């Protein structure tokens, strides 16, 4: 595939382009001096900038460096979500089932209970009024209604719907302790994280109190080496899960009176799911004689030896895409991509098969395969490279997709919701730009659909790579560019 380094075009060259049309792909493109000057006059002029503006027909109106390779960060989700929607359809729902082997005798189940993982990323509280035990409680109530109080066998988790690679290639080890770098598994609960709360309510120099969801589970071990500092001091965060373990080191400094919330990743997602589910059932007086087990082999589920005891259907894909794009949820992106691969190829879903779907989709959209290097579905991998020219072209072509309304509604609305909720507020852009932000260290991207002042529909993509100043400043420059495009058209 791709072995090239991103190379920057000097802004002096861009200034020359700004005063005359440039012939690119057979189109005359006017490079806007206003946009170039916005970058040149900023404190981020030495970063690499890629900008492209198209009208709804796909005609390039202006831009520069859009035919160069950039790291798109979470702007990649714009492509991944298009692929997932194309493969699964807006009405797709996950179905997670609880099976029994054996039979019931009075209040005993004489055999094993098996939870078959379906790849559902939403077994958490997001779509259930923040009740993170909603699905577990549904399963419990069904088993309880059957009169089952004791299971003579094991509680088994089957995660064969996906492969057993927990992370895509290219993810940084530094990210694997946090909610945005969790394991990807067909059997996942609470997005494979524990939710920590820290209360700095003790004396200065003492340790803060901690608690965590689910129910202070002993599945993880917290080593609390945090310290409370004077109330006027700054919060200094330090969390690290020791790789290969569920031991999490807490070494933050917290101002007195401070409350901190953080979601931290766990090791071995399917075991976390089953361990938590077992504890939940036992809390409801359903007990197991044998220990929990995890298996990854495919079973013949239609065999009459398996009895469906309980089942749960997720909300439709149209809603799941909203969580993925509006909130830029990496976990959802990777889970959905593996699901698309599992359904398309009728095998265990993998990131590699999902990437092949992305590549095939982009090729159908007219993108040269030599112009992309995809390592994951979320954009967290810094090795992922593409051209903003190709990304914006896909946004143009999605407008003719029969499911475009679902796709567009999954995007964040400037000044209203998602990752763009606090951007463009109290400006003419508020409510008129639907898109996707992206962030990695040294990378900031912003792409989407803009309704210009004239009412004309535009597609705008901006990527800034290799910057060393604050991200908030990069945001300001990108927003200034979009506001100038809004006024001009």
Stated as kind and residue range, the H or E segment containing 228 is: strand 227-229
**Token digits of residue 11:** 């802004």
Range(s) within the chain of domains with CATH label 3.40.710.10: 11-89+319-488
Second CATH level (architecture) for the domain 93-315: 3-Layer(bba) Sandwich (3.50)
Q: What residue spans of 327-453 are helical by DSSP H?
A: 330-345, 351-364, 388-398, 404-409
At residue 246, the 3 state secondary structure works out as: coil
At 35, list the tokens.
């946009």
Strands 95-105 and 108-116: antiparallel
pTM attached to this predicted model = 0.93
Q: Report the SS3 class of residue 359.
A: helix
Q: How many CB atoms lie within 10 A of CB 364?
A: 10
Which token pair is 19?
A: 């005063």
Compute the C-alpha angle 10/438/14, nearest 5°. 15
The two three-digit tokens of residue 101, written as one number: 């082997």
DSSP single-letter state for residue 474: H
Task: Return the CATH number of the domain spanning residue range 11-89+319-488.
Answer: 3.40.710.10
Whole-angstrom Cα distance, residue 121 to residue 20?
A: 50
- Tens digit of each residue's pLDDT, the chain (489 residues): 443 333 333 333 333 333 333 344 434 455 678 888 899 999 999 999 999 999 999 999 998 899 999 999 999 999 999 999 999 999 999 999 999 999 999 999 999 999 999 999 999 999 999 999 999 999 999 999 999 999 999 999 999 999 999 999 999 999 999 999 999 999 999 999 999 999 999 999 999 999 999 999 999 999 999 999 999 999 999 999 999 999 999 999 999 999 999 999 999 999 999 999 999 999 999 999 999 999 999 999 999 999 999 999 999 999 999 999 999 999 999 999 999 999 999 999 999 999 999 999 999 999 988 889 999 999 999 999 999 999 999 999 999 999 999 999 999 999 999 999 999 999 999 999 999 999 999 999 999 999 999 999 999 999 999 999 999 999 999 999 999 999 999
CA distance 24 to 199: 58
User: Whose CA is closest to 41, among 487, 489, 486, 484?
Assistant: 484
For residues 37 and 18, what is the distance between their CA atoms, to the nearest angstrom? Answer: 10
What residue ranges of the chain are covered by domains with CATH 3.50.80.20? 93-315
Q: How many Cβ atoms from other residues are within 10 Å of residue 282's Cβ?
A: 12
């Amino acid at each position: 595939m791709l072995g090239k380094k991103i190379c920057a075009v000097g802004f002096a060259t861009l200034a020359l382009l700004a005063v005359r049309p440039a012939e690119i792909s057979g189109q005359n493109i006017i490079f806007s001096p206003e946009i170039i000057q916005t970058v040149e006059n900023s404190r981020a002029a030495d970063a690499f900038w890629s900008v492209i503006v198209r009208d709804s027909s796909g005609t390039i109106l202006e831009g520069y460096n859009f035919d160069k390779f950039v790291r798109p960060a979470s702007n990649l989700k714009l492509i991944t979500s298009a692929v997932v929607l194309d493969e699964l359809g807006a009405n797709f729902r996950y179905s997670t089932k609880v099976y029994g082997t054996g039979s019931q005798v009075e209040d005993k189940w004489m055999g094993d209970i098996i939870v078959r993982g379906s790849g559902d990323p939403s077994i958490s509280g997001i779509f259930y009024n923040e009740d993170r035990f909603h699905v577990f409680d549904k399963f419990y109530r069904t088993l309880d209604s059957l009169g089952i109080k004791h299971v003579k066998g094991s509680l088994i988790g089957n995660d064969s719907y996906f492969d057993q690679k927990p992370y895509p290639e290219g993810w940084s080890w530094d990210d694997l302790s946090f909610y945005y770098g969790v394991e990807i598994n067909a059997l996942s609960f609470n997005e494979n994280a524990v939710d920590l709360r820290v209360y700095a309510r003790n004396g200065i120099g003492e340790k803060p109190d901690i608690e965590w969801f689910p129910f202070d589970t002993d599945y993880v071990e917290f080593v609390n080496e945090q310290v409370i500092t004077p109330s006027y001091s700054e919060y200094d965060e330090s969390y690290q899960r020791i790789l290969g373990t569920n031991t999490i080191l807490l070494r933050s400094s917290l101002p007195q009176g401070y409350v901190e919330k953080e979601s931290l990743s766990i090791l071995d997602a399917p075991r976390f799911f089953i361990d938590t589910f077992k504890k939940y059932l036992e809390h409801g007086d359903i007990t197991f004689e044998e220990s929990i087990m995890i298996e990854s082999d495919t079973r013949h589920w239609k065999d009459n030896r398996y009895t469906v005891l309980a089942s749960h259907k997720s909300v439709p894909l149209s809603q799941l895409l909203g969580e993925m794009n509006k909130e830029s949820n990496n976990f959802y992106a990777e889970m959905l991509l593996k699901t698309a691969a599992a359904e398309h190829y009728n095998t265990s879903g993998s990131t590699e098969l999902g990437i092949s779907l992305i590549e095939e989709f982009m090729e159908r959209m007219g993108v040269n395969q030599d112009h992309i290097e995809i390592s994951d579905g979320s954009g967290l991998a810094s090795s992922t490279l593409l051209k903003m020219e190709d990304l914006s072209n896909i946004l143009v072509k999605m407008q003719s997709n029969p499911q475009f309304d679902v796709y567009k509604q999954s995007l964040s609305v400037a000044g209203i919701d998602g990752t763009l909720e606090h951007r463009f507020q109290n400006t003419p852009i508020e409510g008129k730009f639907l898109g996707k932000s992206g962030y990695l260290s040294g990378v900031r991207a912003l792409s989407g659909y803009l309704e210009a002042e004239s009412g004309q529909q535009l597609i705008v993509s901006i990527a800034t790579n290799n910057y060393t100043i604050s991200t908030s400043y990069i945001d300001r420059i990108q927003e200034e560019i979009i506001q100038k495009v809004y006024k001009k058209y």
